[in-house]
Structure 1
Amino acid sequence: MDLGSPLSVAHLLRASAPLDVVVGASVADRVARGRAYLRTVLADDERPVYGAKTGFGALVGFAGRATEADQCDNTLAHLGAGQGPDLPLDIARAALLVRTWSLAQGLSGVSAHVVEGLAAMFATTFVPAIPRYGSVGASGDLIPLAYAAQALRGRGHAYLDGVRLPAAEALASAGLSPLELDGRDALALVNGTSVTTAATALALSSIRASHRAVADLTCLLVDVLGADPGFLDPLLISAFGHPGAFAVSADMRGLLEGTRPSGERPLQEPYSIRCSPQLLGAAEDALRYVDGVVLADLGGVSDNPLFFPGDDLVAHGGNFFGQPAAFAADVLAMVTASLGNLAERQLDLLVDPARNTGLPPMLAAGPGQQHGLQGVQLATTAFVAEIRRNVLPASTQSLPTNLHNQDVVPFGTQAALRSYDLAELLRLLCGSLALGLRQAVHVGGRRPTAPRCAALLDALTDAIEPVDPDRPLDVDVRVAADVVTGRQW
């Protein structure tokens, strides 16, 4: 990717593998202009520059260290206070791509070799080891990004080809040189919401795929049961008035085109079927809001201060305050809870002979001698409970810190990482429902009459053997999740 072009979620998804990141002439020029302006400002004793001439945070009223190299250490050393397991490597790489793009806008005053060194890193499998806990997402993701900066300097630990090593060894093996940083470089690397933005973006991508999968599986459920798709009528949905419901129901009608109701179902289906376009549509509207927040975050510069050479302005402010992503990630968690609950309720309906038009209990091929989806259904209950336990909004939990310099904080990092985790549970719920639908046809459910629903069933049938006799189904759930969330049909 070219750092002179807009950054997208697709770029972040590709960043987990080696990626060609280009520092073009226009990028190099604006980074150089920003750096030259910084030098001019630093030479003026009358102009204060936070972090380059001062201490940090609550200690801004004190002078920083005398030399630029020492000021780098002054920035990073005290931030080595993170704890817990390392972040998933895809988040760490995506976060650094977000950070690189932000620095490449030329408003941070960083050295050209910092942007070039970061770009070179993406051509390798190098990933800094970043502890999960320690960020409040207020002055950016200070602690996690400090670990990234230290690893790029050859300190701490990093991964190469998925193996955790001392960072200096990983750099050498990757053919990379340790980054040399001054105080402004170091502060610019850590003073942004890049971890929060990256985790939110990756969670959004996964949850969007699961959202599509739940809509597809709802259609397959309707067809397998022989239900009437009249609850998707365009006049009905238009009267509802919500754009997300209209868009989702249109897609669902397309998938169900050609279906023939069996006439054996009740006039009105349970809400998990009949109200699915309203629920899925509300989720679509919410996801569109998150789309906008992520797009703005990816196109913005999160740092402090910012340098505007053309206006002779050093602007001290709060562009590192991750409140937008905090709200967005909390919305993602709520969407995940509702989608996960819908998938679990649909599976519960499917395994219940009182509601599944006479299919055997638990979809067992020989009830009593076999137990079919009984274990999977138990697991889905646990998944939903885990999602619900973690859906409490993080963005409302502000706590003052840093001698009340950071007297309000967004906790966007917590919200984003939590939504990233919950996205995987939602994938498993999709896989569980998909497995149930594949099994339902094996034990007497009708073959779908809509061609596209039949294609979805055939993809599941090709990937997964029927549960007959019983076997462990953990791998099958994950395979089914891959089929439906990747739309491999």
Structure 2
Amino acid sequence: MPTVRPVTTTASATSVDLASPLTVPQLLRSAAPLEVLAGTAVRDRVARGRAYLRTVLADDERPVYGLKTGFGALVGFAGRTDDADQCDNTLAHLGAGQGPDLPLDIARASLLVRTWSLAQGLSGVSAHVVEGLAKMFATTFVPAVPRYGSVGASGDLIPLAYAAQALRGRGHAYLDGTRMPAFEALDRAGLSPLELDGRDALALVNGTSVTTAATALALSSVRASHRALTALTCLLVDVLGADPGFADPRLITAFGHTGAVDVASRMRTALEGCVPSGKRALQEPYSIRCSPQLLGAAEDALRYVDGVVAADLGGVSDNPLFFPGDDLVAHGGNFFGQPAAYAADVLAMVTASLGNLAERQLDLLVDPARNTGLPPMLAAGPGRQHGLQGVQLATTAFVAEIRRNVLPASTQSLPTNLHNQDVVPFGTQAALRSYDLAALLRLLCGSLALGLRQAVHVGGRRPAAPRCATLLDALAEAIEPVDPDRPLDEDVRVAADVVVDGEW
């Protein structure tokens, strides 16, 4: 049985302090057991919010959505008078999700985002809710949450309802990666079922935490692939003996875009020592010559997504919000995930462009008409062997799959909930789609990396730039040459691990 570590007040590299803003690296760590700290400042502000809520509820003249009322389009009707019943009233009707479970890292990261939001003291939740969530993170408990059902407007209502129910011991959950009834997972983890009243239940579901978490995780993955593809482009230039002058600082500065300037600077550092072979045409294909402009535009777009994710991680997503100092119960729309919807759609477009670049560079590399005389498909013995032919076919399929899924979700608003939610952002769909596409981009980077490793084996020159040579050596150490042919699915994944997870 996993041991539940007590929540302390000393932060570490494997802890999250709810008194400080959340970061994307913390979300990445939340998939594993993590110490979540709820210190005195957090406890005090949660207590103040809860005390103020009790004051408001004692005033029969003050309406409070979800406590004295029904939900959504039924706000004009009275809710249940018993707190426990109102909790059930909140969660039961939201048990309408379908499809496979969310990836476990998204489910855990979503709850970390939700915990941070509740810990700001503006939601009026019970202190034991924040404390219970903090204890959960010290274990491997993960709610089983179906993928489909959220429109990302009144928060991620349906997926977060499943998470809340699992924390109560209802539905299903995972422990150590094994799916089981939630009450059993709680028991094995040494956790007690979370007791919720109506406000606690509504606060748990009335936020865009799934959307935010999935966007943040997708962003992290795409950023890593962007760095990898920048390094692989440099390696391609060096292996082919191309002229690195396309990254000249005077040329790129004249282009006028910050992202391109920064990417080209990194490329020049990686290509330092690279000498053109003199065997290439005066101007390279755009997949090489225009790479600083393409990768730079991607960098600019990713910086926009960085800002949206940072704002979402540092903001409170709930309705209503309670401001004791101003004696204000604010009913509004802080659960409306439009910023993340736009950001996730931008992320998908960036992924498509980067994936296309990787596929085009691999296509150049396997083509004897454009690869400075290397054998077709980088086969060690063309005809008797087929080298990267299967991998190149697969990359075409990956790019097609990405392109098919790039249609913006944020523009697909449909009215629902008796037109209470007459506009919706569909940020959840955008975020989950971007998360999926990021995994394909990672494989495209691995495919190109495998091709570059093979290119040197079949006659490509060893890189002259020390940084490029170091990357090639890391690939060569991890992957044997394709000679003779063998299945390469695992090799692509290994190559992706080397280039995407490394620092180049």
Q: TM-score range by the shorter chain?
A: over 0.9
Instruction: Specify the alignment match of 1:276 in structure 2.
Output: 291
- In the other structure, the counterpart of 2:50 is 35
Aligned match of 2:138: 123
Note the alpha carbon deviations across 1:156-201, whole angstroms, 9 max, x for none. Answer: 0000000000000000000000000000000000000000000000
Match of 1:51 in 2: 66
Local SS of the residue matching 1:84: strand
- 1:7-65 Cα distance to aligned partner (Å, 9 max, x none): 00011000000000011000000000000000000000000000011000000000000
1:387 to 399, 402, 413: 402
The SS at the match of 2:93 is helix
> 1:105–1:301: 8 Å Cα contact kept in structure 2?
yes
- Equivalent pair of 1:80/1:146 in contact (CA under 8 Å): yes
Equivalent residue number for residue 76 of structure 1? 91
Amino acid paired to 2:320: P
Which stretches of structure 1, 4 residues or more, deviate above 6 A after TM superposition? none
Q: Does 1:321 align with 2:349?
A: no
SS of the equivalent of 2:17 reads: coil
Q: Distance in 1 between matches of 2:167 and 2:434?
A: 28
Q: Secondary structure at the match of 2:311?
A: helix
449, 453, 457: which one aligns with 2:468: 453
State the distance in 2 between where 1:337 and 1:306 align: 39
Partner secondary structure for residue 426 of structure 1: helix
User: In structure 2, do the counterparts of structure 1 residues 366 and 452 end up closer, same or farther at CA, with 3 Å as the change threshold?
Assistant: same
Give the AA of the match of 1:432: S
Residue 480 in structure 1 maps to residue 495 in structure 2: yes
What is the CA–CA distance in structure 1 between the aligned matches of 2:338 and 2:291, rounded to whole Å?
31
What's 2:252 paired with?
237
Matched, 1:219 2:234: yes
Q: How does 1:379-418 map to 2 (within 5 A)?
A: 379-418=394-433
1:103-131 Cα shifts (integer Å, max 9, x gaps): 00000000000000000000000000000
Give the distance between the partners of 1:212 and 1:167, measured in 2 at CA.
40
**Offset from partner CA, 1:401-429 (integer Å, 9 cap, x none):** 00000000000000000000000000000
Choose from 362, 367, 381 the match for 1:347.
362
Match of 1:255 among 246, 270, 273: 270
Instruction: Tell me the equivalent position of 1:134.
Output: 149
In the other structure, the counterpart of 1:285 is 300
- Measure, in 2, the Cα distance between the counterparts of 1:302 and 1:7: 14
CA contact 1:333–1:391 (8 Å) conserved in 2: yes
Partner of 2:243: 228
SS in 2 for 1:85: strand
Shift of 1:296: 0.0
Q: Secondary structure at the match of 1:49?
A: coil
Q: Percent identity?
A: 88
Q: Which runs of 5+ in 1 are unaligned?
A: none
Kept in 2: contact 1:459–1:488 (CA 8 A): no
Alignment partners' CA distance in 2, 1:256 and 1:425:
27
Q: Which residue identity lines up with residue 246 of structure 1 in the other structure? A: V
Paired letter, 2:261: F
Residue type of the alignment partner of 2:471? L
Given that 1:363 and 1:443 are in contact with CA atoms closer than 8 Å, whether structure 2 keeps it comes out as yes
Q: What is the alpha-carbon root mean square deviation over aligned residues?
A: 0.5
Q: Which amino acid aligns with 1:31?
A: V
Give the partner amino acid of 1:79. Answer: L
Equivalent residues in 2 for 1:348-367 (5 A)? 348-367=363-382
Q: CA deviation at 1:384?
A: 0.1
Aligned to 1:309: 324
Structure 1: distance between partners of 2:88 and 2:48: 25
Q: Report the 3-state secondary structure (helix = DSSP H, G, I; strand = E; otherwise coil) of the residue aligned with 2:37.
A: coil
Alignment partners' CA distance in 1, 2:178 and 2:119:
29
Of 181, 198, 204, the match for 2:196 = 181
For 2:216 and 2:398, the matched residues in 1 are separated by 22
Question: How far 1:486 sits from its partner (Å)?
Answer: 1.0
How far 1:235 sits from its partner (Å)? 0.3
- The aligned counterpart of 1:2 is 17
Q: Output the CA distance in 2 between the equivalents of 1:293 and 1:178.
A: 34
- One-letter identity of the residue aligned with 1:236: L
**In the aligned structure 1, how far is the partner of 2:499 from the partner of 2:435?**
19
TM-fit CA distance, 1:488: 5.7
In structure 2, which of residues 252, 273, 280 is the aligned counterpart of residue 265 of structure 1? Answer: 280
The SS at the match of 1:154 is coil
Q: How does 1:419-438 map to 2 (within 5 A)?
A: 419-438=434-453
Alignment check: 8 A CA contact 1:203 1:416 kept: yes
Structure 2 residues without counterparts, runs of 5 or longer: 1-15
Kindly provide the CA deviation profile for residues 246-269 of structure 1, in whole angstroms up to 9, marking residues without a partner as x. 000000000000111100000000
Aligned position for 2:455: 440
Instruction: Show CA shifts across 1:331-362 (max 9, x none).
Output: 00000000000000000000000000000000
Deviation of 1:487 after TM superposition, in Å, equals: 1.4
Q: What's the TM-score, normalizing by structure 1?
A: 1.00
Deviations 1:132-172 (A, max 9, x none): 00000000000000000000000000000000000000000
Aligned: 1:111 with 2:126 = yes
Q: Secondary structure at the match of 1:272?
A: helix
Inter-partner Cα distance in structure 2 for 1:405 and 1:201: 29
Instruction: Give the length in aligned residue pairs.
Output: 489
Q: Is the aligned partner of 1:14 residue 2:29? A: yes
Give the equivalent residue in structure 2 for 1:152. Answer: 167
2: CA distance, partners of 1:253 / 1:39 = 62
Amino acid at match of 2:289: R
